[in-house]
Amino acid sequence: MITIAVDCMGGDHGPGVTLPACAEFLDSHPDAFLVLVGKAEIFQGFSHARARALTATEVVLMDDPLEIALRRKKDSSMRVAIQQVKDGAAQAAVSAGNTGALMAISRYLLKTIDGIERPAIAGQIPNAAGGATTVLDLGANVDCTAEHLLQFAVMGSALVSVLKNEQSPTVGLLNIGEEVIKGNEVIKKAGELLRCAAQAGDLNFYGNVEGNDIFKGVVDIVVCDGFVGNVALKTSEGLAAMIGGFLKAEFSRNLWTKLAAVAARSVLGALKHRVDHRRYNGAALLGLRGLVFKSHGSADVLAFGNALGRAYDACRNNLLDRVQVRIAHAAPLLAMGEAVQRPVTPS
């Protein structure tokens, strides 16, 4: 039985979305058990044979400063859910709440894996190949060293190998050009480390990629700092919204466009399905001594259910153990990366 702790209060819609999503998830996953965390009153009228309600008296709001979320709200639904992972009562936690607070609380309670300095947020962006490109970091680390980017690549490879059952997923380093000489000093050093990692068999490094390659699906994984990654994520969400709005406007203008919409229904449906971010909801917080998944704050029932599904797949496929194994194997290279960042001056 796979047990997942759920912050039922987080996100823009709270229990109005999380509880129905949990019910649907349990009905479709007979070997799953959920620990539902929230205020006592939200569980009135809700029951399931494979769910247990756990009361929390506080809620981390979407605009709460980190100090309040981490230091003052010690009985928040978010913190109590993550505590279940720390205590071994759950194998993963899922929340749609405040991203900064989720990362801070997760890092405080669970700590990081040996060899990892900073956890990263890894999510998926739909691509033209019909699948999705895994991108990290998506916002946890605005400023990164070359060593951090190497760590992200190793962790991202472990994640994709689990979720897509690919033993050697391709990794691209986001840059302003494909040439090795392009980019700032951090990117150039990261490229050196990633090439060394490829030679050592720690990952399958494709080389530098550009922003449009994310949407083309050129590689399985794209590594970048959190500032750039978050911009890319929001750009893709805006693009999907623009496509949806355009189609709705164009095919409701008059009788002829409505008839055209009927004729092209299957094609338009496929396009809408391909760019639908709800299918890929659920970003992993990688580098922690426990599994935590972040759902989009505005997620509906379908999207939150997919976030639960990603947490379930990660547990079922032992993602945490596989990340630790990859990090341990790459430890000599990570140590070398540290030396590159802080070179010793000859005496």
Q: Which residue has the higher pLDDT, 337 or 67?
A: 67
Give me the number of domains the chain comprises: 1
Task: Establish if 157 belongs to a structural domain.
Answer: yes
Would you place residue 162 in the very low, low, confident or very high pLDDT band (cuts 50, 70, 90)? confident
So what's the pLDDT on residue 232? 87
Task: Establish if 103 belongs to a structural domain.
Answer: no
Quote the mean pLDDT of the chain: 87
Q: Which residues pair with 122 in a beta bridge?
A: 136, 284
Of 14-23, 200-209, 254-263, where does the model show the most confidence?
A: 14-23
The model's pLDDT over 164-191, given as tens digits with 9 standing for 90+, comes to 878 889 999 999 999 988 989 999 999 9
144 neighbors 165 (Cβ within 8 angstroms): no
Q: Which of 227, 47, 83 is nearest to 144 (CA)?
A: 227
Q: Which of 141, 156, 162 is nearest to 202 (CA)?
A: 156
Would you place residue 291 in the very low, low, confident or very high pLDDT band (cuts 50, 70, 90)? very high
> 185-199 and 146-163 are packed helices; what angle lies between their axes, rounded to 10 degrees?
50
- State the Cα–Cα distance between residues 225 and 140, nearest whole angstrom: 9
User: Dihedral of the CA atoms 89, 92, 97, 100 (nearest 10)?
Assistant: 110
Whether residue 137 is preceded by a cis peptide bond, meaning omega within 30 degrees of 0, is yes
* Residue 200 φ then ψ, to 5°: -85, -5
User: Angle at CA 148, nearest 5°, toward 143 and 152?
Assistant: 115
Task: Establish if 58 belongs to a structural domain.
Answer: no
Task: Establish if 163 belongs to a structural domain.
Answer: yes
Please give the structure tokens belonging to residue 316: 């079922």
DSSP string, 26-48: HHH-TTEEEEEEE-GGGGTT---
- Among 102-116, 195-209, 327-341, the minimum mean pLDDT is found in 327-341
In three-state secondary structure terms, 206 is strand
Q: Is the pLDDT of residue 92 over 90?
A: yes
Q: What's the Cα-to-Cα distance from 4 to each of 122, 158, 159, 162, rounded to whole Å? A: 19, 20, 18, 18
Task: Establish if 95 belongs to a structural domain.
Answer: no
Percent of the chain with pLDDT over 70: 85
Token pair 């039922």 in the structure block, residue: 8
Task: Establish if 164 belongs to a structural domain.
Answer: yes
* Residue 177 φ then ψ, to 5°: -175, 160
- State the Cα–Cα distance between residues 16 and 9, nearest whole angstrom: 9
Q: What's the Cα-to-Cα distance from 298 to each of 46, 143, 251, rounded to whole Å? A: 22, 27, 26
Range of the domain at 252: 122-278+330-347
Token pair 């987080």 in the structure block, residue: 10
- State the Cα–Cα distance between residues 209 and 196, nearest whole angstrom: 18
Task: Establish if 346 belongs to a structural domain.
Answer: yes
Q: Which CATH number does the domain housing residue 130 bear?
A: 3.40.718.10
User: Angle at CA 18, nearest 5°, toward 77 and 64?
Assistant: 40
Task: Establish if 56 belongs to a structural domain.
Answer: no
The model's pLDDT over 247-260, given as tens digits with 9 standing for 90+, comes to 566 556 666 666 66
